[in-house]
Chains A and B, each alone.
Chain A
């Protein structure tokens, strides 16, 4: 979104004038209407849902005391490794941290950004993921563990890269836009991007929302069988869903033969999607996890079919909370871009020139990113040093992991996977109902138990 209106008076001035801002038609809403009336097209932007929704912030850990023993913070081991895809694949991934990098395409991101993601992830022993548009040598070369996305568009899909992948992620949906296809606007369809996607240079590219050769879980089971045959049953196969009906979708993914289920909540980011889609379709990550876990538990495959959760993971506390609710691992996208240098205040003047501001910039579709991350412009891209940015990402991933360990030890857990819902309480009734943990200070879980 671009800030287009005249700078608003300071709040004190507004009060002095006796002006009242409408809660329904707030300034951002008014600007949206004015922009739509002026341009005749809907707003397309990057990032995920910006509206406030119940989230991990609404949960707290109880920590150990008399009835639980904590682990010694600087002495006792708290493991963080995770094995992904050992249900059927003969070559599962073994990652050193459960914090993985979510799928982001070359095209949406610059080659330097993709390389930096690979460098940072590999340094701490975790995986990175391709996106729409195929696998680049920069990414494969720098990624020790690379997940290859299998998307409806099949841009750049080929069996050589499929066999090079450490895991295959069949993408059904994305938290930012469950039910929606992708788009990459003409500014970013450079010769290289167009070549990888077999498209004319400079067009506004549309990605399909449905796979071209299967529909429904019965077909998906056969499709997974085909991918296993092509890769000689070595490669783990993930199924990624945008969180909308995660209980049913997770169950059907398991039935279809997935080794790993990835659930992306509505706060999960996108490179370019209609704002109306981002903010109004899908459910919060917090609401999605218990539904997915319930499906896995009912099918007797929790911890056997691993669950990766994404959408709004920012801190080690978020990592620990997702895992306590039953996730085996998490994935980060927006946070990883910020770690690389996205929305850095040192580009404040340039963000301002684009009608945005550091901390607000979400016009990833425009290809004019001053930080050189969400762009294909050679000059802008060259600003991002993939080695230095990769180091920043590695630092951040280590901090997330150590923060999660800190909390796990306080809860008496010798492995992040030992965190459990019993370690959590909720601050609000909404979060309690969604996360299915008690409201703090009570034993009440709305929707699970009938009364307070």
Chain B
């Protein structure tokens, strides 16, 4: 079923009944442009289901209404890019740049995510039940990321703020040139990047980690994780740091 325009018009005039429970967009017969235009015009409280996504790019990008979007299948690049409000759930895998520059709200992928998941995200929560590829959380600026599996190399590169939780293993050069973001990893870390060090896991960290794991629907024990962050040795250009990079 394709419902793209004024779904309210088919409902009764009673205020509480004007918003339909769900509108479905079939991308086998509807363009990505039509989908995004429809959800940009959507009212708070609406629910949208996208079928036959077929790995198409830029699905459900730029959402700034409090709506719930479910993509039933695999999404291509930049799914839920610049997400601002509401939630997007992808019941499949996501391509490069999942939820890039997310501002707030929630994006959830039940499968794996490719490179640069949640890149430059300023806020909100990105949950990846499976693995994430390289550069997960690159230049993150306040987003929270919970990954159920492993993450690839150069993740949290130049990460400025926010929290990255990894329930599996991390690849090489984790947190290279990191600023003030905090990283929690349960498994092994192949190597740490420049200026990224292991730090004590204090009570406040256990508490925030427990909250993040709960938000991500995880049952892992916070005490099993290690915390990583910036040594803050490279915050100023100095001749003594010339071999650090």
Chain A residues in contact with chain B, CB under 8 A? 39-41, 44, 153-154, 157-160, 162-163, 183, 185-186, 197-200, 203-204, 206, 208, 212-214, 219, 222-223, 225-226, 229-233
- Shortest Cβ distance from A153 into B: residue: B139
B residues within 8 A CB of A44? Answer: 237
B93 within 8 A of A: no
- Shortest Cβ distance from B135 into A: residue: A212
A-B interface contact total, Cβ < 8 Å? 111
Q: Knowing A159-B84, A203-B235, A208-B158 are in contact, say whether A222-B58 is a contact too (CB < 8 A).
A: yes
30 CB < 8 A contacts A-B = A40-B242, A41-B238, A41-B239, A44-B237, A154-B101, A154-B141, A158-B82, A158-B103, A158-B122, A160-B64, A198-B141, A198-B160, A200-B180, A203-B235, A203-B236, A212-B119, A213-B78, A213-B97, A213-B116, A222-B57, A222-B58, A222-B76, A222-B77, A223-B97, A226-B58, A229-B33, A229-B58, A229-B62, A230-B36, A230-B81
CA–CA, A225 and B115, complex, Å = 18
For B112-125 the 0/1 string (1 means CB < 8 A from A) is: 00011001101000
For B80-91 the 0/1 string (1 means CB < 8 A from A) is: 011010000000
Contacting residue for A186 out of B77, B158, B236, CB 8 A: B236
- Shortest Cβ distance from A44 into B: residue: B237
CA–CA, A208 and B140, complex, Å = 13
Contact call B236/A226, Cβ cutoff below 8 A: no
- 7 closest cross-chain pairs (CB), A and B: A40-B239, A230-B62, A213-B97, A154-B120, A213-B116, A159-B82, A203-B235
B residues within 8 A CB of A230? Answer: 36, 61-62, 81-82
Contact call A213/B96, Cβ cutoff below 8 A: yes
CA–CA, A208 and B58, complex, Å = 24
Q: Knowing A222-B57, A232-B37 are in contact, say whether A159-B103 is a contact too (CB < 8 A).
A: yes
- Shortest Cβ distance from B95 into A: residue: A222
Contact call B179/A226, Cβ cutoff below 8 A: no
B residues within 8 A CB of A157? Answer: 101, 120, 122
Q: Which of B134-150 contact A (CB under 8 A)?
A: 135, 138-139, 141-142
Chain B residues in contact with chain A, CB under 8 A? 32-33, 36-37, 40, 57-58, 61-62, 64, 76-78, 81-82, 84, 96-97, 100-101, 103, 115-116, 119-120, 122, 135, 138-139, 141-142, 157-158, 160-161, 177, 179-180, 235-239, 242
Contact call A212/B62, Cβ cutoff below 8 A: no
For residue B99, give the distance in angstroms from its CB to the closest CB of chain A. 10
A residues within 8 A CB of B142? Answer: 198
For residue B149, give the distance in angstroms from its CB to the closest CB of chain A. 20
For residue A4, give the distance in angstroms from its CB to the closest CB of chain B. 18
- Shortest Cβ distance from A40 into B: residue: B239
B residues within 8 A CB of A214? Answer: 96-97, 116
Q: Knowing A41-B237, A41-B239 are in contact, say whether A229-B120 is a contact too (CB < 8 A).
A: no
Q: Other CB < 8 Å A-B pairs besides A197-B160, A213-B96, A222-B57, 7 of them?
A: A200-B235, A212-B157, A222-B96, A226-B57, A229-B32, A230-B81, A232-B37
A residues within 8 A CB of B82? Answer: 158-159, 162, 230
A residues within 8 A CB of B135? Answer: 212-213
CA–CA, A230 and B82, complex, Å = 8
- Shortest Cβ distance from B40 into A: residue: A232
Name the residue among A154, A185, A200 with the largest chain B CB count within 10 angstroms. A154
Contacting residue for B158 out of A183, A185, A206, A231, CB 8 A: A206
CA–CA, A160 and B32, complex, Å = 21
A residues within 8 A CB of B138? Answer: 212-213
- Shortest Cβ distance from B116 into A: residue: A213
- Shortest Cβ distance from B237 into A: residue: A204
For residue B229, give the distance in angstroms from its CB to the closest CB of chain A. 13
Contact call A225/B122, Cβ cutoff below 8 A: no
Contact call B77/A226, Cβ cutoff below 8 A: yes
For residue B90, give the distance in angstroms from its CB to the closest CB of chain A. 16
For residue B12, give the distance in angstroms from its CB to the closest CB of chain A. 30
Name the residue among A158, A197, A213 with the largest chain B CB count within 10 angstroms. A213
B residues within 8 A CB of A197? Answer: 160
Contact call A213/B58, Cβ cutoff below 8 A: no
For residue B147, give the distance in angstroms from its CB to the closest CB of chain A. 17
CA–CA, A230 and B78, complex, Å = 11
Contact call B84/A223, Cβ cutoff below 8 A: no
- Shortest Cβ distance from A185 into B: residue: B237
CA–CA, A213 and B62, complex, Å = 16
Contact call B100/A229, Cβ cutoff below 8 A: no
Q: Knowing A41-B239, A154-B139 are in contact, say whether A206-B161 is a contact too (CB < 8 A).
A: no
Name the residue among A154, A199, A229 with the largest chain B CB count within 10 angstroms. A229
Contact call A198/B37, Cβ cutoff below 8 A: no
Q: Knowing A199-B179, A208-B139, A212-B139 are in contact, say whether A225-B101 is a contact too (CB < 8 A).
A: no
For residue A310, give the distance in angstroms from its CB to the closest CB of chain B. 26
Contact call B160/A199, Cβ cutoff below 8 A: yes
A residues within 8 A CB of B37? Answer: 232
A residues within 8 A CB of B78? Answer: 213, 222-223, 226
For residue A213, give the distance in angstroms from its CB to the closest CB of chain B. 4
Contact call A158/B101, Cβ cutoff below 8 A: yes
For residue B181, give the distance in angstroms from its CB to the closest CB of chain A. 10
B residues within 8 A CB of A154? Answer: 101, 119-120, 139, 141
Contact call B33/A233, Cβ cutoff below 8 A: yes
A residues within 8 A CB of B36? Answer: 229-230, 232
- Shortest Cβ distance from B180 into A: residue: A200
Name the residue among A39, A199, A233 with the largest chain B CB count within 10 angstroms. A199
Q: Knowing A158-B101, A229-B61, A229-B62 are in contact, say whether A213-B120 is a contact too (CB < 8 A).
A: yes
CA–CA, A186 and B36, complex, Å = 41
For residue A161, give the distance in angstroms from its CB to the closest CB of chain B. 11
Name the residue among A159, A206, A225, A233 with the largest chain B CB count within 10 angstroms. A159
CA–CA, A183 and B158, complex, Å = 13
Contact call B81/A226, Cβ cutoff below 8 A: yes
CA–CA, A157 and B142, complex, Å = 13
Q: Knowing A198-B122, A198-B142 are in contact, say whether A159-B64 is a contact too (CB < 8 A).
A: yes
For residue A166, give the distance in angstroms from its CB to the closest CB of chain B. 17
A residues within 8 A CB of B179? Answer: 199-200, 203
A residues within 8 A CB of B97? Answer: 213-214, 223, 226
Contacting residue for B100 out of A208, A213, A233, CB 8 A: A213
For residue A155, give the distance in angstroms from its CB to the closest CB of chain B. 8
